[in-house]
């Protein structure tokens, strides 16, 4: 019983964490990609 509740909370928590961190990961890819030298070329 407790393990089922723990699994449900873990699933909900991971879904919330994904939704919350997604925009920050996109912003980090946009701004961090230039400094990391990802797809952008430095001249």
Please give the pLDDT value at position 39: 56
Say how far apart CA 7 and CA 3 lie, in whole Å: 6
Per-residue pLDDT tens digits for 21-42: 999 989 888 887 666 555 555 5
Once rounded to an integer, what is the mean pLDDT over residues 13-21?
95
List Cα–Cα distances, 22 to 3, 7, 37, 39, 41, in angstroms. 28, 22, 21, 20, 25
Does residue 20 register a pLDDT over 80? yes
> In angstroms, rounded to a whole number, what is the distance separating the alpha carbons of residues 41 and 43?
6
- pLDDT tens by residue, 3-14: 999 999 999 999
pLDDT at 30: 87
**Is residue 33 a contact partner of residue 40, using CB atoms and an 8 Å limit?**
yes
Please say whether the beta carbons of 35 and 29 come within 8 A. Answer: no
**pTM for this entry:** 0.52
How far is residue 22 CA from its own chain's centroid? 4
């Amino acid at each position: 019983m407790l393990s089922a509740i723990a699994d449900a909370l873990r699933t909900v928590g991971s879904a919330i964490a994904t939704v919350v961190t997604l925009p920050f990961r996109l912003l980090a890819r946009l701004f961090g990609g230039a400094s990391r030298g990802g797809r952008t070329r430095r001249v």
